[in-house]
Amino acid sequence: MTMTKSPIITPQAAIRVRGLSKFFGPIDEGAIARTGPEFGTARDPLSGSIVAAWDVNFDVAAGEALGIVGESGSGKSTVLRCIAGDQPSSAGSVHLMCHDEGRTNVLDLSPAARRKLRIDQLSVVYQDPAEGLSLGVTAGGNIADPLTAAGWRNFEAIRVRARDLLDRTEVPLDRMDDIVRNFSGGMRQRVQIARALANNPPIVLLDEPTTGLDASIASGVLDLIRGLLEELDLAVVVVSHDFGVIEMLTQRCIVMQHGRVVEDALTDQLLEDPQHPYSQKLVTAARS
Amino acid sequence: MNSPLINVCDVSKTFVLHNIDGREVTALQNVSFSIAPGEHVALAGSSGAGKSTLLRLLYRTYTLTSGEINFCLSSGDWVDLGKLTDPEVVALRGREIGYVSQFLRAQPRRAVIDLVTRAGVSRGMTRNDAREQAAISLRRLNIAESLWEIHTSVLSGGEKQRVNIAAGLISPPRLLLLDEPVSALDPENRERAIDLISQLSEAGVAVLAVFHDLDAIARLATRIVVMSHGHLIDDGPVHSILPQLEPTDVHP
Amino acid sequence: MSSTVDEIAGPPQSVPFALLDEESKREIRRALLQAVCIPGFQVPFGSREMPVARGWGSGGLQISLAIVGVNDTIKVIDQGDDEGVNAVNLRRLITSSTGIEETSETDEATIVQSRHRIPEDAMTSDHILVLQVPVPEPLRGIERNMKELERMHAEGDYSKMWVSLYEDKVRNGVITQTTGYPCLVAQRYVMATTPIPRWDIPRLHQAEFLTLFGAGREKRVYAIPPFTDVEPLTFEDVPFEVEASNGAKCRLCGSEETFLVETPGSESRWSCSDTAWCRRKRTK
C-alpha cells in the first residue's frame, strides 16, 4: 500500500507560502538558533535582532480559509502583512495562482507591482477600519477607490456596483453617501469588507476582522464573512487570537508562537486535540 | 459479508497533557474492527470507554497515536486516514466521511432550509435537487415549514438537532459517524429521526454510531462493538450482543 | 581716508541680459527641456530670488527670462488684463532688462505670460504661453504626504483624485471644481491647470503652441508640448462642461462667446476677461 501519489484530489492552491520570514535587525544562523518557543522569545539576546517570523509555510485553495492563531507578538500579523505587501519580508516566497499562474514569487515584485496586486487580486481587511478606509470619504467613495484604480470611469456604474456591495455587506443603502467617520465600528467593518470585495479578488486576507467589536456586532460581521467565503469561492487567510472566529471561518489553521509555527492542524483537531504545549495552553485558556 | 469500507487496525490513542506535567492519558488501546458498506455498527460501552474518541479518530478530529485506519475511497483506492495531510482530510470530509454530532456546530445565522441545502450542494448535488431533498428531509423530521426561513440560532435544542440530522444525512457520505444524534429529541421526533437514519443502510451507507439508549441500538444497528476502558471487548451481531448489554453500557 | 558707498560696492557691474545670469537661465532651460520631454510632469528647479515676491508670478517670470531672446515680443496679462498692476510690473521688468518689444496684441507677441487666462485669440506655433502657477500639485488637497504624492504620480495611481471627483459629484450633484481643473496630460500625468478657468481647458488640448508652467514658490516647472492630449478628468457619463454665460453679454463689446467676468456694482455686470480682445472688437 505504498503510494507515490495521493489518490485524493485536493484543490489547487490559490496562494502558496513557503519559508516566509521576517527579521528586524541583522540575523545570522545563530540568531535563528537562539530564538523561538524553546527560548521563550523572538529576540536574539546577543544581537538584539528580532525574528518576527521564521519559515512559515502553507497553502490555501479557493473556497478555503486558513487561520493563523497566536497571542499578540507571535508574528501572525507580521506574516499577513508580509503577504499583503504592507511590510517587506526578509526571506521566502509567496505565489498567487491569479498572478502569472503562480510562476512568480510576488515577494520579488517591485513595490509598485505589489500595490497593483492589491487592486483586484488580493485584498486585506484590517482590524482598524481606519487602516483600510478613508474615514473622511463616503461609504460609496471608499468603494469607488479600488474601482477607479481598476479603470472604472462611469459614475453610474460605480454607483450601482457600490450599492450592490453595500447591500451585500448589509450596510443600509441610505447611508451610502455618509462619510465613514460617522459610522459605528461594526458598520465601518462592513464597509471595509465591501471595499475589499470591490474588484472580486480571489484572495482576501483578514487581520483580526472582528476584534474590538461588541460581541453581538462581531457575530453579525462573522456571519457575513462566513457567508461570503461560501458564496464567492475566496481563498482566505484569517489572523485572529479568537478561537471563536477561527472555528467559525476556517477548516485549517497554523499556530504561531515567538515567530515560529508550532503546529498546523485541522481547525477542529486543534480545538479538540491540540498537540503542541503552547496550543494546549491557548485552547485551554480559550475554553475556560 | 461485503468487502469492508474501512479497516481499523490496532489503533491506539494517547493524549499527552503538556501543561499537566506531561501526563499521558490513554483513551484507546489496540482497537481493531472493520465496517462494510450498508452496515450499521453501534458502539456500546459505559461512559469513558472510548466511544466518542473512536468516532473522532475516524473523522481525524483526533490525531492517531498508533495503528492504521484504512479507508476505501470511492475510486477504489485505499488510504490510511491517520497519514493523510490536512488538506486531504478536508477534501475527504463531507463527501466520503460525515460526522453528525449531538450539537449543531458553530454556524452563521443562516436559514434552516439554506443550511441543509448547502450541505447537499457541498456533497455535489445541484442546488435545486439539494433544496428539494432538504425540504423532504425537514418535513420527515417534523420541522414546521414556518421555521425553514428562520435562523438556526433561534431554534430549540431538539429542533437544532433535527436540522443537524437533516444536514448530515442529505446526499449521505459513504461513511457516516453519528455521535448521539437523537439524544435531545422527544419520543415522537426521535421516532422520525430513527426512521430517517434507518434508511442509510438501505442506501449502502456504512454507519458507526454512538447512542444513549438500547432501544435505538436495537432498532438501527446491524452489529455492535462493545468498548471498555479504551479496549474493544466484544464485536458481533445485534442479536447475540444486545441481550448482554445493560442500560449503563450505553450511557455517555 | 574716508570710504564711500561706491568704494565699498566695488566697480559697477552691468545687469545681465534678462536679469538672470547665464548659469541660472541655463539651469531653468534644462528643467524646461525635461518638462517638455515628460508632458505634465513637475520638474524641480532652483527657483531664484526675484524682484517680485514669490506667489506674484516669480515662477512664470523666471521662465520668461530664461527663454527670452532679443527678437522676442512679450505680452503679459493678469486676469486677462494687460493693464493689471502685476502684469505691468512683470512686463516692465522683462522689457527693461532685455530691451525687447512689448505688446498687448496676442498675434504680435511671441511669449505670452499669464496668470489666470489663455488669450481669446487663437495662438499658434509662433507663440509660447507661460503660465504663473501658485499650486503646481494637482493632488495637494487630496494627499499631504510628499512621498506618497511622488509615488502616486510615479505609478499613475490617481484613484484618490477620482474618488474626490466622485465625492464632489455625490455631494453637489456636479463636479464643482472651477479653476485649476485637473487634466490628464498625454495619457500619463495628472496636472494642475491652476489657475485658468474651465473655459480655457479645451484650448490646451492638441494646442499648436507650447505651454510652460512655472511655480516659483514651489520650485517646479512643467509643460505641455504642442499637439499633446490634455483631457480634463471626468466620468464617461458626466460630461466636462465649461462655465456657462447663461445668455450674459459683455457690457462693453457685447460678446457672448468669450470668457466673461463679473464686475461688481455696475448695471450690466459682465465684461470680457480678455481686455485686449474686447478693445479690439470695439474699435473694429
Q: Amino acid identity of C161?
A: M
B chain contacts of residue A8, beta-carbon cutoff 8 Å: 73, 79, 84, 88, 91-92
Q: What is the per-residue pLDDT for A1?
A: 45
- pLDDT of A110 strictly over 60: yes
**Euclidean distance between CA atoms C74 and C162, whole angstroms:** 38
Say what the pLDDT of residue C2 is.
57
Chain A residue set in contact with B, beta carbons under 8 Å: 1, 3, 6-11, 59, 61, 64, 219-220, 222-224, 226-227, 230, 244, 247-248, 251-252, 264-266, 268-269, 272-273, 275-277, 280-281, 284
Q: Which chains touch C (3 or more CB pairs under 8 A)?
A: A
Asked whether the beta carbons of residue A177 and residue C170 sit closer than 8 angstroms, the reply is: yes
C117 sits in which H/E element: none
Flag whether residue C160 sits within 8 Å of chain A, measured between CB atoms.
Answer: yes
Strands B6-17 and B23-35: antiparallel
Phi, psi of B92 (to 5 degrees): -80, -35
Say if residue C83's pLDDT is above 50: yes
| pLDDT above 70: residue B34 | yes
At A159, the amino acid letter reads: R
How many Å apart are CA C179 and CA A207, to the nearest integer? Answer: 43
Q: Contacts of residue B61 in chain A, CB cutoff 8 Å? A: 266, 268-269, 272-273
At position C195, the amino acid (one-letter code) is P
- Cβ–Cβ of A264/B18 closer than 8 Å? no
The verdict on whether C250 is a catalytic residue reads yes
Distances (CA, A) of B149 to A12, A231, B155, C88: 35, 18, 11, 79
Provide mean pLDDT across the span C129-133: 96
**Closest chain C residue to the Cα of A142, Cα to Cα:** C163
Smallest Cα distance from A77 to chain C, Å: 24
Mutate to test the interface with A, among B28, B63, B86 (most CBs of A within 10 A): B86
Position B251 pLDDT exceeds 80: no
Are the beta carbons of A280 and B17 closer than 8 angstroms? Answer: yes
Interface residue of C162, C184, C190 to substitute, partner A, most A CBs within 10 Å: C162
- Band (pLDDT 50/70/90 cuts) for residue A220 is confident
State the pLDDT confidence band at A213, using cuts at 50, 70 and 90: confident
Report how far residue A267's alpha carbon sits from residue A60's, in angstroms, rounded to the nearest whole number: 14
Least confident of C3-12, C105-114, C178-187, C255-264: C3-12
Taking CA atoms, what residue in C is nearest to A148? C159
Average pLDDT over residues A144-170: 96
Q: Which tops the pLDDT comparison, C142 or A143?
A: A143
How many interface pairs between A and C have CB atoms less than 8 angstroms apart?
50
Look at residue B158 and tell me whether its pLDDT is greater than 90: no
Distance CA B60, CA A272 (A): 10
As a whole number, the mean pLDDT across chain A is 93
Query: Residue A144: its chain C contacts at CB < 8 A?
Result: 162-163, 166
Q: Could you say which of C40, C57, C180, C216 is catalytic?
A: C40
% of residues, chain C, pLDDT over 70: 94
3-state DSSP call for residue B130? Answer: helix
CB–CB of B164/B143 below 8 Å?
A: no
Q: What are A225's three cell numbers? A: 464573512
Per-residue pLDDT band at C9 (split at 50, 70, 90) = low
Give the rounded percent of residues in chain B with a pLDDT score beyond 90.
70
Q: Do chains C and A meet with 3 or more Cβ pairs nearer than 8 Å? A: yes
pLDDT of residue B99: 93
Report how far residue C150's alpha carbon sits from residue C137's, in angstroms, rounded to the nearest whole number.
10
What pLDDT is recorded for position C3?
A: 63
Q: Are B56 and B64 in contact (CB under 8 A)?
A: no
Which of B61, B88, B115 to probe the A interface (max A CBs under 10 A)?
A: B61
Residues 112 through 151 of chain A touching chain C, CB cutoff 8 Å: 112, 115, 134, 137-138, 140-142, 144-146, 148-149
pLDDT, tens only, B41-67 = 999 998 889 999 999 999 999 999 999
Edge-to-edge strand list for the sheet holding B175-179: B97-100, B175-179, B206-210, B40-44, B223-228, B231-237
On the question of pLDDT at C7 being above 80, the answer is no
Residue C33: pLDDT over 90:
yes
Q: Which of C141, C253, C254, C265 is catalytic?
A: C253
B37 exposed, middle or buried (CB, 10 Å; 0-12, 13-18, 19+)? middle
**Which residues fall within 8 angstroms of residue A110, CB to CB, at 6 or more apart?**
none
10 Å CB burial of residue C173 (0-12, 13-18, 19+) is exposed
Set of cell numbers at residue A73? 507578538
Spatial separation of the C-alpha atoms in residues B51 and B41, rounded to whole Å: 12
Distance CA B1, CA B33 (A): 14
| pLDDT greater than 70 at residue C12 | no
CB of C187 less than 8 A from some CB of A:
no
Arithmetic mean of pLDDT, C131-152: 93
Asked whether the predicted pLDDT for residue B1 surpasses 70, the reply is no
CA distance A110 to chain B (A): 32
Q: What is the mean pLDDT of residues A176-204?
A: 96
**Residue C247 confidence (pLDDT):** 80
Q: What is the DSSP string of chain A?
A: ---SS-SS-PPPEEEEEEEEEEEES---HHHHHT-BGGGTBSB-TTT--EEEEEEEEEEEETT-EEEEE--TTSSHHHHHHHHHTSS--SEEEEEETTSGGGTSBGGGS-HHHHHHHHHHTEEEE-SSHHHHS-TTSBHHHHHHHHHHHTT---HHHHHHHHHHHHHHTT--GGGTTSBGGGS-HHHHHHHHHHHHTTT--SEEEEESTTTTS-HHHHHHHHHHHHHHHHHHT-EEEEEES-HHHHHHH-SEEEEEETTEEEEEEEHHHHHHS--SHHHHHHHHHHH-
Angle in degrees, CA A96, A220, B90, rounded to 5:
45
Question: What integer best gives the mean pLDDT of chain C?
Answer: 91
Look up the ipTM and state it: 0.91
Q: CA A8, A10, A16 angle in degrees (round to 5)?
A: 145
- What mean pLDDT is predicted for residues B166-188? 91
Summarised one tens digit per residue, pLDDT across range B117-155 is 989 998 889 999 999 999 999 999 999 999 999 888 888
Query: Which residues have CB under 8 Å from B113's CB, separation 6+?
Result: B131, B134, B135, B138, B148, B149
Average pLDDT over residues C79-89: 91
| Cβ neighbourhood burial of B18 (10 Å; 0-12, 13-18, 19+) | middle
Mean pLDDT (whole number) for B215-243: 93
Quick one: average pLDDT of B165-189? Answer: 91
Is residue C183 annotated as a catalytic residue, yes or no? no
DSSP state of C199: G
**Using CB atoms, which residue from A137, A141, A155 is nearest to C238?**
A155
A261 closest CA partner among A58, A23, A32 = A58
Reduced to 3 states (helix: H, G, I; strand: E, B; else coil), residue C31 is helix
Among A42-56, A132-146, B94-108, B158-172, which stretch is predicted with the lowest mean pLDDT?
Answer: B94-108
Query: What is the per-residue pLDDT for B128?
Result: 94
Chains C and B touch (3+ CB pairs under 8 A): no
Q: Once rounded to an integer, what is the mean pLDDT over residues C195-204?
A: 92
Whether C40 sits among the annotated catalytic residues: the reply is yes
- Count of residues in chain C: 284
Q: Which class for A109: exposed (0-12), middle (13-18), buried (19 or more C-beta within 10 A)?
A: middle
